[in-house]
Structure 1
Amino acid sequence: MNAETRLSHHILSVAERAAIAEIEATTDILRLVTKLTRMRFAAIAKFSDNQWVTCSVYDPSNLGIEAESTFDLETTICSDFCINPEALFIPQISQSPRHALRPIVKRFDLESYAGLPIFLPDGRLFGALCILDSQYITCEDPDVREVLSIFAKLIGCIFFANLSLPQVPERA
């Protein structure tokens, strides 16, 4: 187990890991998201105070970001949701002075980004639905954007339902 995975075990609660395991549909949702956007990577990420941790990943192109990978939140494009929690679509990151120099963009050679904040039904920002590609891909279709928004809401409701369940102590 690498350091990023060990750190993510402390960031993801037992209930959150159970929600991820229970929601086999998350992989199907992420797979569908990549088909809708024509991008090759999708993930559900949780935000902690200063960390971005992947809860679930669909990565047939082997981008290199795995489930339970952890990054400093400020290095990610998704960190924008902490300031402005609105859907963000960047078809050409290299042309965005604000985003092109982010460490995660450089590390994974990212060119296209679509992201939506995931809110829990009680209004708390949980994290983000992130869709990425190393190629230029535009996502202008308003129907696709609406479907992505519905998926982000669905994911937030599923996590909230599982977080609201009584906690079972984690085994060592």
Structure 2
Amino acid sequence: MSDFDKDLAAVQRIAAIPTILDVIRRLTDMRFVAVARVTEQRWMACATRDDLGFGIAPGGELAIETTICHEIRQSRAPVVIDDVSQDPLYSAHPTPVMYGFKSYISMPIVLPDGSFFGTLCAIDPNPANLNRPEILGTFKMFAELIGFHLDMHSQLDKAEAELASAKEMGDARERFVAVLGHDLRNPLASIKAGLALLSRTQLDEKAKEVLGHLNHSTDRMGELIENLLDLARGRLGGGLPIRPVPAELGEVLHQVVREIEAARPNRMFNVEVDIPGPVMADPDRIAQLVSNLVSNAVKHGAPDTPIRIFGILEDGHLVVSVANEGRPIPPSKIATIFEPFNALETRGAKEGLGLGLYIASEISRAHGGTLSVSSTLVETRFTFKAPIANRA
């Protein structure tokens, strides 16, 4: 596989790309939007939203010397053209005439190590009002997110390739994950700070919608980073740390379900919880455990059946279970289901890094409990059971 083929595949692996292109399309009214790989010799589309009939699909190429992206690679500065006929720099430029556009915007995609990957760009044959803070800010944030994802996938791919031939696979991967998680926190914090700053400006409805997508994406990236760090803590630090306090776990469980219901309004949830009084436990970690189990049920359960959440105190134990209907887990997967990097397939494709159930099992272990699974044609049920040493 050539380097360009790898770059094309890397962009295609980023699940958020179609949403990014769609948001840009609706925010700017630009009818051709693309993520392009740009080098000194080549320009290749890695992802496109083509409502214009421009005719460039992922994998398609343009002669690099005919593109403005070629100039952006050299300057590493964005180019924004509202109306090429009125633009003092580009009114006589040959590229707009060659490709028939009047409005254009392109933002460089730079990886965290400083290397130039390509551009996030859009064109349209009509003029457009692009030179606005919300448009530029949105493009900048999306370009940074794409660069982030590309670097993370690249680092994980390198780690897996190295670990495949290493005798001590577990230690090597987990040490890498610990470093990766810490290194990703700082740039993510910068992105979130930029979003907070942008939210305080005067925005129209489209821009507010874009901010919502961006905040959701950064929250999801934050969850991914925390999962990576939890993996490292669990394997390298002797287990996940917990901070037991007197906690109203019944309310904790209800709050988790309310949050997931808000994100998944089309799914049904049945909650039966009877946990009287406070219980000594780490409420944040218990919420994380239950959230991971319910999210797993949402991903793999039959979408037209309810997910059932139970919580009780029984014989001196806290018992919480999450059940869903749908296709059972293959017996070959049951034995390793709580191991890290063991994502189950959903509709023929793997989702996430496969850390959710591993982290849930580590939280259970940290509370002196167990996490078990049973899966039949009737239902799949995960059950957390932990002794209550001291009632609060």
Give the alignment's TM-score, normalised by structure 2. 0.38
> What is the 5 A alignment of 1:112-151?
112-151=103-142
Structure 1 residue matching 2:51: 3-state secondary structure: coil
Structure 1 residue matching 2:143: 3-state secondary structure: helix
Aligned-residue offset at 1:98: 4.7
| Residue deviations 1:121-164 (CA, integer Å, cap 9, x gap) | 10011100001101011213212211110000011111122222
Match of 1:70 in 2: 61
> What is the 5 A alignment of 1:56-67?
56-67=47-58
Counterpart among 5, 9, 17 of residue 18 in structure 1: 9
Match of 1:30 in 2: 21
Distance (whole Å) between structure 2 residues aligned to residue 57 and residue 105 of structure 1: 19
More helix by percentage? 2
> Does the Cα contact within 8 Å between 1:118 and 1:156 map onto a contact in 2?
yes
Distance (whole Å) between structure 1 residues aligned to residue 65 and residue 8 of structure 2: 23
Distance 1:126 1:155, change over 3 A: same
Match of 1:5 in 2: none
Distance (whole Å) between structure 2 residues aligned to residue 47 and residue 84 of structure 1: 13
Letter in 2 for 1:82: R
Letter in 1 for 2:126: Q
Structure 2 residue matching 1:12: 3-state secondary structure: helix
> Does the Cα contact within 8 Å between 1:92 and 1:112 map onto a contact in 2?
yes
Aligned-residue offset at 1:102: 5.1
Aligned-residue offset at 1:65: 2.1
Structure 1's consecutive aligned runs of 4 or more residues displaced over 4 angstroms after TM superposition are 100-104
Match of 1:4 in 2: none
Distance (whole Å) between structure 1 residues aligned to residue 18 and residue 93 of structure 2: 27
Distance (whole Å) between structure 2 residues aligned to residue 122 and residue 48 of structure 1: 16
Structure 2 residue matching 1:83: 3-state secondary structure: helix
Match of 2:83 in 1: 92
Distance (whole Å) between structure 2 residues aligned to residue 30 and residue 92 of structure 1: 22
Letter in 2 for 1:12: F
Aligned-residue offset at 1:35: 1.2
Tell which deviates more after alignment, 102-111 or 147-156.
Answer: 102-111
Letter in 1 for 2:135: V
- In percent, how many aligned pairs have the same letter? 30
Distance (whole Å) between structure 2 residues aligned to residue 152 and residue 128 of structure 1: 8
Aligned-residue offset at 1:10: 4.2
Letter in 1 for 2:45: T
| Residue deviations 1:27-75 (CA, integer Å, cap 9, x gap) | 1101111111121111000112211111000012212222111122221
Distance (whole Å) between structure 1 residues aligned to residue 43 and residue 91 of structure 2: 18
Distance (whole Å) between structure 2 residues aligned to residue 124 and residue 56 of structure 1: 20
Distance (whole Å) between structure 2 residues aligned to residue 65 and residue 106 of structure 1: 17
Letter in 2 for 1:147: T
> Does the Cα contact within 8 Å between 2:35 and 2:46 map onto a contact in 1?
yes
> Does the Cα contact within 8 Å between 1:76 and 1:103 map onto a contact in 2?
no
Match of 1:79 in 2: 70
Paired positions, count: 159
Larger of the two Rg values belongs to structure: 2
Aligned-residue offset at 1:24: 3.1
Distance (whole Å) between structure 1 residues aligned to residue 128 and residue 104 of structure 2: 8
Distance 1:104 1:163, change over 3 A: farther
Give the alignment's TM-score, normalised by structure 1. 0.81
Distance (whole Å) between structure 2 residues aligned to residue 18 and residue 67 of structure 1: 10
Distance 1:78 1:17, change over 3 A: closer
* Structure 1: unaligned runs, 5 residues or longer: 1-8
Match of 1:44 in 2: 35
> Does the Cα contact within 8 Å between 1:76 and 1:102 map onto a contact in 2?
no
Structure 1 residue matching 2:127: 3-state secondary structure: coil
Tell which deviates more after alignment, 92-101 or 137-146.
Answer: 92-101
Structure 2 residue matching 1:140: 3-state secondary structure: coil
